[in-house]
Structures are given as C-alpha cells and as structure tokens.
Amino acid sequence: MAILIRENQEPCDEFIGLIYEILNSQGEKRFQELFDEAKSGAVSKTDFVRGIMRQEFETVKKVRGLLENFKLSKKEKSTSYFFNKFSQCPNDFEAYVVYKPKGVTRDQFKEYEQLYDSLQKKP
C-alpha cells in the first residue's frame, strides 16, 4: 500500500487528503475482496464499481465528521478543495454516486469501470 499526496495544493488540502487516505486504507480488506471477485468474474462491473464507491463513501463520512475539529480559518475553508468536497457531500449513498463537487471533471464511475475491465484481462 502507498499513500500519495498531490503537490501544489493548499496545506490544509494536503492534510485532509492524507487523513482521507489513511482512513480509506482501513477498507483495504474490502477493496481486495472486490478486486479478487472482479478477477474471478464473481461480481458484475456495476456491483464492483458500487462496492468500491460504497467503501469510499464510508470514508468520506468519517472525514466529514472530523472537519469541525480541524479549526480551519474562513479563508482556508473557502480555498480548500477537500474541505468543500467533503463538507458538501450528500448523506445518502445514491446521491453520493452522482455527486460531483464544483469544478470536478473526474468521473469515478468510469474510472472504476476501467479498473474492472483491466482486472478481467487474462495474462
């Protein structure tokens, strides 16, 4: 396992990103189960993607619960990508699946579908 922190971002975003990745790593066992199921064909592409996203959603809720403890200034909150992403995240999983924070072009669903496809390929 490796945790990567993107450079050239606000210090509070580096911190929040690190907290997210540490908490998300607690789901490593579930992620591995989903990867193994995808490789063997025991899970559909949609269920694989939703499983990954459900695990990440649980982490997002944990981070959101910690945000008030971070004592960020108004300026830090307004300039922080992660603070806004997590604090505005829906409480409902179905809403989370389609949630796109302002300015985000990344499509997690498609990325995880591609991951599923790559796991399906036989060497």
Domain ranges of the chain: 11-120
Closest by CA position to 6, among listed 21, 27, 23 = 21
The predicted pLDDT at position 3 comes to 80
The predicted pLDDT at position 123 comes to 60
The predicted pLDDT at position 68 comes to 86
The predicted pLDDT at position 30 comes to 96
pTM comes to 0.87
Residue 64, classified by CB atoms within 10 Å of its CB into exposed (0-12), middle (13-18) or buried (19+), is: middle
Distance CA(97)–CA(31), nearest Å, equals 17
Instruction: Assign 3-state DSSP to the chain and report helix, strand, coil percentages, each to 5.
Output: 70, 0, 30
The predicted pLDDT at position 1 comes to 66
Q: Which residues of the chain have pLDDT under 70?
A: 1, 122-123
Residues 6+ apart with CB under 8 A from 75: none
The predicted pLDDT at position 122 comes to 64
Distance CA(71)–CA(7), nearest Å, equals 22
